Structure 1
């Protein structure tokens, strides 16, 4: 499959960045929160579409009690909760079993994002998501959906030299697992700021025999300086130049970044290639959860508020 020709499609996206195709790609979007950011939200039901999948990020050092309390609260508001399980932060197999039992018993969780985690050395027997999969714990506990991390622009944790060999091998392992189990699996990616690297990566996975759907990570609206800081700390690759170029334009420096342009390009590609592995988008609310959800609502994906709630939110 040839890489999508952005020059050819420019007239279809310019001036109509939130057209029908972009709104369709956003439908069913997921969003990520942390216990400390979720605590600032009075009601998720008032800011998110019903049934939205909410990932709960487990930053190393966060007490598991805070993770479970957050998952329980969001689940009770009617949302599909997907906690992160960071392999390197799990101190033992017994701890993993305890986490899973508590997530299920207290928050009725049946899905998880498996990833290595953000620390260099494992605290227990698990070093990466493949170790978590091979533990058999998720099979034994009847988890219905497992997502794994994707790195379109590489990962310094997996391939320190900046290559993709280990990243691709890990996805091949996970694809094989998906084929031999009943678990619904998908790939959710790190955020990026340019469509071309994401599309090229998705096409390369399809050519390598990967069939797991891809949920592309996008940064929700935020200040440019905030995004550059997060992007550099997270190892975002070639697409970072989009932000750097914007930062050099004084007229745009103080304006908030929004993902309209990248969504338009991705949506145009998906419309032209409906068989693509790209299934949807996942928002990282780096500028704040309310900022993100206000923007998504303005583009057609907000909650169905009751009249009283609408009046309260308008004040």
Structure 2
């Protein structure tokens, strides 16, 4: 059985590596913000070669800080994928300027397009679909465009608790993926339970949506921190996994780690090679170093840093 035939690490004290998890973590990505990136002295001491680094653009962050962070990480050898939150972009001229700045100063050719967490748009754009429709990313020759996925729905988009608008948007994005030269993928909100993730991913295939899924996973963090972020980000039913853990006094003070959910997804992927979840995307809610070290300890060769 694969789960019992673990490979030994070079550093024996780190314990054995689950080869199924190691394979599943191959090509994982991670998310930073300018202020969290500043705390990392050198990403090459933490991340494998070629790791895609998303840069989250929070309302109020100057574009200059975003571009500076993109350039720094790109100069260290990593492909950078900045967020383009539609609702904080004033107009097409602003969007074109941002694209130009990222390309000219940091060599960026990929982006995550999303509505953003702002209730009222700052200008012309309200959704990632409008950003795609602008044609500006294709005009600039972007090679990869990611859009948001929601395994547990999104109450901002479907306040009634249904998934109608989310599903309609996915069908629109599927059609767009068939016309653009850019590679597309769904980068999802994080969840804490494998079963609903698997059911959601399978439902996409049944609906004819074949855009690859990069599944969002919350990295290791204090339980209280995760619950706070999960509620703020609208995480759905899988939040009960954290709430149940919070009721267990023996686990309350222990940090949460994504070992269980990743192992279940990895086992499913190994048993179903055509499973449409192709990559793991980490939200390092407990810190970039903490998340990277968890990956190093569990991912074997898939997570070996450049400087190791």
TM-score (norm 2): 0.93
Question: Contact 2:3–2:20 at 8 Å: present in 1 too?
Answer: no
Query: Between Structure 1 and Structure 2, how many residues are aligned?
Result: 296
Which structure 1 residue ranges, 5 or more long, are not aligned? 1-10, 311-315
1:68-111 per-position Cα deviation (integer Å, ceiling 9, x unaligned) = 00001000000010000000000111110100000000000000
The equivalent of 2:236 in structure 1 is 237
> Displacement of 1:304 after TM fit?
3.3
Matches within 5 A, 1:42-191: 42-191=41-190
Q: Secondary structure at the match of 1:180?
A: coil
Which structure 2 residue ranges, 5 or more long, are not aligned? 7-15
Question: Contact 1:219–1:283 at 8 Å: present in 2 too?
Answer: yes
The equivalent of 2:35 in structure 1 is 36
Instruction: State how far apart, in whole Å, the 2-side matches of 1:226 and 1:244 are.
Output: 12
1:46-89 per-position Cα deviation (integer Å, ceiling 9, x unaligned) = 11111100000000111000000000100000001000000000
The equivalent of 2:289 in structure 1 is 290
The equivalent of 2:197 in structure 1 is 198
Question: Contact 1:49–1:302 at 8 Å: present in 2 too?
Answer: yes
Instruction: State how far apart, in whole Å, the 1-side matches of 2:124 and 2:159 are.
Output: 21
Matches within 5 A, 1:198-277: 198-277=197-276
> Displacement of 1:157 after TM fit?
1.6
The equivalent of 2:12 in structure 1 is none
The equivalent of 2:304 in structure 1 is 302
Question: Contact 1:13–1:265 at 8 Å: present in 2 too?
Answer: no
Question: Contact 1:82–1:109 at 8 Å: present in 2 too?
Answer: yes
Instruction: State how far apart, in whole Å, the 2-side matches of 1:181 and 1:219 are.
Output: 30
Q: Secondary structure at the match of 2:118?
A: coil
Instruction: State how far apart, in whole Å, the 1-side matches of 2:124 and 2:99 are.
Output: 16
Instruction: State how far apart, in whole Å, the 1-side matches of 2:306 and 2:148 are.
Output: 31
Root-mean-square deviation (CA, aligned residues, Å) is 1.5
> Displacement of 1:302 after TM fit?
2.5
Instruction: State how far apart, in whole Å, the 1-side matches of 2:268 and 2:240 are.
Output: 21
My pick for the range that moved more, 55-64 or 16-25, is 16-25
Instruction: State how far apart, in whole Å, the 1-side matches of 2:297 and 2:166 are.
Output: 36
Instruction: State how far apart, in whole Å, the 2-side matches of 1:242 and 1:303 are.
Output: 31
Instruction: State how far apart, in whole Å, the 2-side matches of 1:13 and 1:276 are.
Output: 19
Question: Contact 1:293–1:302 at 8 Å: present in 2 too?
Answer: no
The equivalent of 1:3 in structure 2 is none
Instruction: State how far apart, in whole Å, the 2-side matches of 1:139 and 1:304 are.
Output: 32
The equivalent of 2:10 in structure 1 is none
